[in-house]
Amino acid sequence: MIGKTMQIGTVRLMRKLCASTCAAVLLGGFASQTAAQDTPAEAAPSTAQDAAWHNQQQIALAQRTYKDGWRWMEGGLLWRRIKGNGSGARPTVADTVTLHYAGTFVDGTGFDSSYGRGEPATFPLGRLIKAWQLAVPQMAVGDTIEIAAPASIAYGPVGKGPIPGGATLLFTIELLGIEGR
């Protein structure tokens, strides 16, 4: 009975995720987010008519499970700690943070990386995409996490720069410091 209840709960969660993403894609219900990964006027790849691509975005979220260490947060954000224990100074959304990060699409293609530039990045956390505003405060200095961000808390249905609308984004984030602490 417990297994059946968990299966029903998983199906309901997936329906909610799919429904919110489909509504966002079809109705344009999410505003474009401000993000630190802004790039000059580079056009995002067009995937607006590709249902298989949109399905892959949802499958990438569904494949991340609790037994593999993934935790669910507000808005459908999935995260897991891969280094550190979460103890120590933690930032708030009002803080400016220094971190290393790598961002990829669900197919593994990278779109932005401070590691690749060989230099950490410093950002006001409140100006980053909602997914980072939710995840980074869960970290302590020295921690590294992975996040899977549905489009609704990343760049929405329109996208920005090289990021197409509706994209689920995967990030590895290493918190190096909090300005003033």
Q: What is the pLDDT of residues 110-146, one digit of tens each?
A: 999 999 999 999 999 999 999 999 999 999 999 999 9
CA angle 53, 112, 76 (to 5 degrees): 55
Reported as a pLDDT band with limits 50, 70 and 90, residue 15 is: very low
Distances (CA, A) of 49 to 54, 144, 169: 9, 36, 19
For the beta carbon of residue 84, count every other beta carbon within 10 angstroms.
16
Average confidence (pLDDT) over 3-18: 46
7: pLDDT strictly greater than 90: no
Q: Residue 6: what pLDDT? A: 42
Closest residue by Cα to residue 153 from 75, 73, 61, 51: 75
What is the overall mean pLDDT for the chain?
A: 82
Helix intervals (H) in the chain: 2-27, 51-62, 114-117, 130-135
Task: State the pTM of this model.
Answer: 0.75
At 26, list the tokens: 């079809």
22: pLDDT strictly greater than 70: no
Distance in angstroms (rounded) separating the CA atoms of residues 117 and 36: 15
Closest residue by Cα to residue 99 from 90, 108, 110: 90
13: pLDDT strictly greater than 50: no
Q: Residue 111: what pLDDT? A: 96
Q: Residue 17: what pLDDT? A: 45
Q: Residue 49: what pLDDT? A: 52
For the beta carbon of residue 92, count every other beta carbon within 10 angstroms.
12
